């Protein structure tokens, strides 16, 4: 990293797990501000000007926090954003305050930190222009929106978690169709039409198939999640659908698992292609 015009971008957090000060995840570092009694996460970036530095730094820090949210199921509101120029010409300080809510504290174990580091490393190595990377980013955004809404609007939170699941399952649609036809090759249904295959490709089967492909075995009731999702379509959003905390949490857990394991699946698939 060039030493010219370096900036430290800092996000002060409303709440965080007790964590070892100086703990680094990726190129971001956790600290604790004694005067204000808050945890913060910071990173150092090089940029031509303060605005570019702020954008670059915040993007990186928010990526780290989003992966931690996927791994823990807890969202991390930001109290304020600070930026300090630490080298280059005309050092100065820029501060922008953000008013956000909700404070949550949990213990973040070292094993979980290692999982987070692994996911971040995998994401950093994925080409930004590829479809699979865009799917992951979009899925994470749906998941974060679901987390943001879960205390105020549970049904909408559930829908956002489900949208993340749909994104992943749609990526395995072709593989599902091929698998169905292969299974029927030696039966009386060997001449099954594409329309008939589509009829067999129910949301439940597609989710189950996708989970198998990425290597997970969900403990939640997929049928119940799909049935609840269908209620939204049946009501055409004219009536609020009642979603229990348990059902929302099941959908949230499944969404997180599918996104995280899909990241690993994409990386493994790319390595396999390179070897072949």
* Residue-wise pLDDT tens digits, 84-119: 888 776 655 544 444 434 444 556 777 888 888 888
* Residue-wise pLDDT tens digits, 25-39: 888 888 888 777 888
Long-range contact pairs involving 17-26 (C-beta distance under 8 Å, separation at least 24): 17/72, 17/105, 17/106, 17/107, 17/108, 18/105, 18/107, 18/108, 19/108, 19/113, 23/113, 25/64, 25/68, 25/113, 25/116, 25/117, 25/120, 26/60, 26/64, 26/117, 26/120, 26/121, 26/124
* pTM score of the predicted model: 0.79
Query: What pLDDT was estimated at residue 272?
Result: 60
Low-confidence ranges of the chain (pLDDT < 70): 1-4, 89-107, 128-129, 185-186, 188-191, 234-239, 270-276
Token pair for 255: 């969404």
Query: What pLDDT was estimated at residue 132?
Result: 85
């Amino acid at each position: 990293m060039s030493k010219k015009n370096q900036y430290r971008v800092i996000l002060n957090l409303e709440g965080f797990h007790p964590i070892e000060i100086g703990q680094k995840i990726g190129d971001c570092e956790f600290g604790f501000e004694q005067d204000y009694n808050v945890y913060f996460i910071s990173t150092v970036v090089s940029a031509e000007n303060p605005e570019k530095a702020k954008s670059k730094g915040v993007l990186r820090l928010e990526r780290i926090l989003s992966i931690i949210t996927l791994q823990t199921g807890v969202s991390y509101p930001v109290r304020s954003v600070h930026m300090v120029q630490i080298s280059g010409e005309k050092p100065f300080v820029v501060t922008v305050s953000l008013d956000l809510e909700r404070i949550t504290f949990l213990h973040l174990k070292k094993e979980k930190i290692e999982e987070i580091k692994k996911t971040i490393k995998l994401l950093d190595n994925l080409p930004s222009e590829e479809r699979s990377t865009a799917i992951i980013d979009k899925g994470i955004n749906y998941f974060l929106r679901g987390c943001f809404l879960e205390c105020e609007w549970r049904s909408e939170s559930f829908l956002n978690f489900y949208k993340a699941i749909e994104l992943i399952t749609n990526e395995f649609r072709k593989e599902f169709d091929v698998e169905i036809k292969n299974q029927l090759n030696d039966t009386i249904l060997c001449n099954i039409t594409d329309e008939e295959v589509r009829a067999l490709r129910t949301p439940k089967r597609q989710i189950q198939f996708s989970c198998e492909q990425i290597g997970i075995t969900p403990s939640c009731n997929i049928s119940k999640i799909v049935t609840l999702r269908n209620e939204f379509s049946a009501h055409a959003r004219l009536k609020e659908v009642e979603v229990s905390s348990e059902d929302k949490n099941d959908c949230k857990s499944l969404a997180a698992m599918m996104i995280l394991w899909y990241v690993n699946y994409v990386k493994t698939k790319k390595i396999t292609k390179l070897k072949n």
